[in-house]
Amino acid sequence: MQDIVSVSKLTKKFGDITAVDRMDLTIKEGEIYGLLGPNAAGKSTTINVLCGMQHKTDGQVKIFGKDIEKDIRAIKADIGVVPQDIAIYSDLSAKENVRFFASLYGLKGALLKERTEEALDFVGLRERQNDLSKTFSGGMKRRLNIACAIAHHPRLIIMDEPTVGIDPQSRNHILTSVKQLNEMGSTIIYTTHYMEEAEFLCSRIGIIDHGKLIAEGSLSELQGIVADRKRIEIVTGIEKEADAEALKRIKGVLDTRLNEDDCIEVEVLKEADVIGALVSELTRQGVSIRDIKVHAVNLETTFLSLTGRKLRD
């Protein structure tokens, strides 16, 4: 399959701060590529460079085989961007919003009308097409935000956390829509804070932290990185704080983290039987135990292991 996005040694600096650090990234045609990372990891900067909103400091970026420095206008014509913040006009109707943004991609006449209606149908807003968008709910605005990015049938759609702050019904609608868009032929880059969305949607996932792509692969490949591990969550009483460092000395324990909600997260080798030792140690410390949960490896575990941070940190 053709490489839709090819990034080599991409670096972006803001003064002394390096937001993206020699990143290599390849996305193939037809993929839904998940870009995961905590806040300030470099996701948005990477996306801004890909859609031509920011200039790279160094490296090479090719989209559809074209150099982003030389052919940015042609590249932009084939990209649809769904920004994280809802960027629509509240004093325009749903139809006027979609028509306006589609017209900026060069659509006109009958084709513009047809594609506008098609996009509104796709996001389920045809019935409300003549209503001003300021009368819409948060979920409807999110769907309109997507409609404005897809009417011109882009080959590459970049979605920056498109489900933030919406109800489960609208979220499900959007996730199904993303799958459909992919089946219709668009390649999708999807950034999210929600692990379950990445697990549900993405054929490949890249984990980015401190401006670097620290892991990349399919869901099973990423889980394989930490396949020899499991995660134990211990909810303690509030009377006394546990000494997490002491827990690390138990054989088979790889890492521990104390959360604010009186919860100790313990990463252990999959085969190690450490629960008894953990309970003994906490009892010795005088810490009461209210609950213990053992989690199998998932993307969240992988992310924690790789970055040392939760995705929403």
Query: Toward another protein, which CB reaches closer, 77 or 279?
Result: 77
* Angle, helix 138-150 to helix 109-122, in steps of 10 degrees: 140
Q: What angle do CA 225, 30, 163 make, to 5 degrees?
A: 75
158: Cβ contacts below 8 Å, ≥ 6 apart: 47, 50, 51, 79, 80, 81, 82, 188, 189
Tell me if 111 contacts another protein by CB under 8 A: no
Q: How many residues bind another protein (CB under 8 A)?
A: 29
| Smallest gap from residue 134 Cβ to another protein (A) | 10
Contact with another protein (CB under 8 A): which of 65, 104, 180, 290? Answer: 104
Q: Which of 179, 213, 183, 174 is nearest to 7 (CA)?
A: 213
Contact with another protein (CB under 8 A): which of 76, 95, 142, 171? Answer: 76
Q: Would you state the structure tokens that stand for residue 178, as one six-digit string?
A: 């993303």
Query: Toward another protein, which CB reaches closer, 97 or 307?
Result: 97
Tell me if 106 contacts another protein by CB under 8 A: yes
Contact with another protein (CB under 8 A): which of 33, 64, 101, 136? Answer: 101
Tell me if 89 contacts another protein by CB under 8 A: yes
In order, the DSSP letters of the chain are --EEEEEEEEEEEETTEEEEEEEEEEEETT-EEEEE--TTSSHHHHHHHHTTSS--SEEEEEETTEETTTSHHHHHHTEEEE-SS----TTSBHHHHHHHHHHHTT--HHHHHHHHHHHHHHTT-GGGTTSBGGGS-HHHHHHHHHHHHHTT--SEEEEESTTTT--HHHHHHHHHHHHHHHHTT-EEEEEES-HHHHHHH-SEEEEEETTEEEEEE-HHHHHHHTTTEEEEEEEE-SSS---HHHHHTSTTEEEEEEETTTEEEEEEETT---HHHHHHHHHHHT--EEEEEEE---HHHHHHHHHSS-TT-
Tell me if 123 contacts another protein by CB under 8 A: no
Tell me if 130 contacts another protein by CB under 8 A: no
Tell me if 143 contacts another protein by CB under 8 A: no
Contact with another protein (CB under 8 A): which of 25, 35, 36, 81? Answer: 81
Tell me if 18 contacts another protein by CB under 8 A: no
| Smallest gap from residue 69 Cβ to another protein (A) | 14
Query: Toward another protein, which CB reaches closer, 55 or 284?
Result: 55
| Smallest gap from residue 88 Cβ to another protein (A) | 7
Query: Toward another protein, which CB reaches closer, 100 or 200?
Result: 100
Tell me if 258 contacts another protein by CB under 8 A: no
Tell me if 105 contacts another protein by CB under 8 A: yes
Tell me if 40 contacts another protein by CB under 8 A: no
Tell me if 83 contacts another protein by CB under 8 A: yes
Tell me if 91 contacts another protein by CB under 8 A: yes
Query: Toward another protein, which CB reaches closer, 89 or 200?
Result: 89
Q: Which stretch binds another protein (CB under 8 A): 36-44, 98-106, 283-291, 292-300?
A: 98-106
Tell me if 17 contacts another protein by CB under 8 A: no
| Smallest gap from residue 220 Cβ to another protein (A) | 34
Q: Which residues bind another protein (CB under 8 A)?
A: 48, 51-55, 73-74, 76-77, 79, 81, 83, 85-89, 91-92, 96, 100-101, 103-106, 108, 148
